[in-house]
Structure 1
């Protein structure tokens, strides 16, 4: 089952809806859903009726404003190697603000002063229940579902300091697809192909089997320091093939279209635009 954030016509409130191809079935409000994600997911599975056309709603990130979006850097061995990084002993973690999140087909602007944006196709995992001092098995079982994610990165800003926050939080630089419930995805350790394309050309082609730290390991580690809550998101890292390490570097330019396709999760499409179109596209 696919779950998406939607805004109905004439209403700026975000709801969670079941996505059935070209139609959506509204389940409940965003806050109510994440107060009981297991219960509302079961409710969503039983909804009947015609629903409403998907083209009549505006899609929105399916996460609450309070969510912590925690990204894992250097989580594929080949990606660490292509950037000349040592394989880390522990996952490299950094945060995204929910204000940077977006959805498919929403244009992402290249920030002023950047030579372009870099692509990072990833699997995102969504927490369904509180986790504190959880072991990896418990943490894996607490995942509601997974989605496509693109950790679009402003490399110049990222490299200004040893901290990556600035380069990882550009406006609308975190597009994510609908949540596909865990029962339909299975365990990513069994292997999901992660492919990124730029204007139809494959630039990344990896598999989640190659992750250094799986979702359960990462969630367990985080939960030893702070409690994870329903709606928190883990972006699990990207395979090798990013643009900035190429000779010459290849970065996304206005007019480009980047797609992330992941087994069982679908395709996430993002057009790249000039920064002077930023306000226009945000309306």
Structure 2
């Protein structure tokens, strides 16, 4: 089953997606209060011939609650770590974690502005994992059961801002820089360790082509680590890191400019398209 967020009935709802038809299920708060129940109800709802509507008629929005934590993992693919901070060094013993605010999230086909003080923006194709149940102090063996599903994600980054200090928060929270694709339930995706191909194209040119088998830390391992320190709740998101091929590590450096289009394509999760715009688009934030 696939799910998207929509504007509906005066608020933000989670809807089931069947082809190009959208079937509103519940407010985002009600959905994440019992995601498993809504997953059970969704098949019956999408078979109602009188229900739903064409996708193009809905305004799509992120399907995470405003209270969600979005925890991102840096340098989590071996090849990407080697092209970045861990070139010719031992791999990290623990994942590098940083946060995104939900205000930075967006969806496909929404233009992302390049801040006026940046030469451009960088792409980072990622698999995002959505927490479906409360998680406190779990071990890795049981952590995967907490995952409700996965989606495409592009951790679009303002590199100048990111590299001002050792803390990455500023560069990772630009306006609209966290586009998410439709959420696909875990039963349809399977185990990431079996391998999903992760590709990025800029203006049709492939710039990233990696596989989730190259992850240093698995999603269950990341969830287990986080849960020892703070409790994860339904609707929280884990962005699991990006493969090699980012723009800043290239010679010469290649960054996204206004007029560019970036696509993230991940096996079983689909393709997420994001246009890049100029600073004037920040007036929407």
Please give the TM-score of this superposition, normalised by the length of structure 2: 0.96
Counterpart in 1 of 2:6?
6
Question: Which runs of 5 or more residues in structure 2 are unaligned?
Answer: none
Q: CA deviation at 1:278?
A: 2.5
CA contact (8 A) 2:121 2:159 kept: yes
Counterpart in 2 of 1:18?
16
Q: CA deviation at 1:84?
A: 3.8
Moved over 2 A (4+): none
Counterpart in 2 of 1:49?
48
Is it true that 1:32 corresponds to 2:39 in the alignment? no
State the secondary structure of the residue aligned to 1:46: helix
Which aligned pairs between 1:201-216 and structure 2 lie closer than 5 A? 201-216=205-220
Q: CA deviation at 1:142?
A: 1.0
Which aligned pairs between 1:19-98 and structure 2 lie closer than 5 A? 19-47=17-45, 48-50=47-49, 51-85=52-86, 86=89, 87-98=91-102
Is it true that 1:256 corresponds to 2:257 in the alignment? no
Counterpart in 1 of 2:158?
154
CA contact (8 A) 2:112 2:281 kept: no
Question: 1:45, 1:182 → 2: CA distance?
Answer: 15
Q: 1:119-162, CA deviations, whole angstroms, 9 ceiling, x for partnerless residues?
A: 00000000000111101121111100000000000000000011
State the secondary structure of the residue aligned to 2:251: coil
Equivalent pairs, count: 279
Counterpart in 1 of 2:200?
196
State the secondary structure of the residue aligned to 1:147: strand
Q: CA deviation at 1:228?
A: 0.5
Q: 1:44-102, CA deviations, whole angstroms, 9 ceiling, x for partnerless residues?
A: 12212241111110011010000000000000011011014242100000000000000
Is it true that 1:134 corresponds to 2:138 in the alignment? yes
Question: 1:263, 1:25 → 2: CA distance?
Answer: 24
Q: CA deviation at 1:13?
A: 0.7
State the secondary structure of the residue aligned to 1:224: helix
Q: CA deviation at 1:43?
A: 1.2
Is it true that 1:124 corresponds to 2:118 in the alignment? no
Please give the TM-score of this superposition, normalised by the length of structure 1: 0.97
Is it true that 1:232 corresponds to 2:236 in the alignment? yes
Question: 1:254, 1:84 → 2: CA distance?
Answer: 28
Question: 2:157, 2:72 → 1: CA distance?
Answer: 12
Q: CA deviation at 1:12?
A: 4.2
2:280 counterpart (236, 259, 276): 276
Question: Which runs of 5 or more residues in structure 1 are unaligned?
Answer: none
**RMSD of equivalent CA atoms:** 1.0
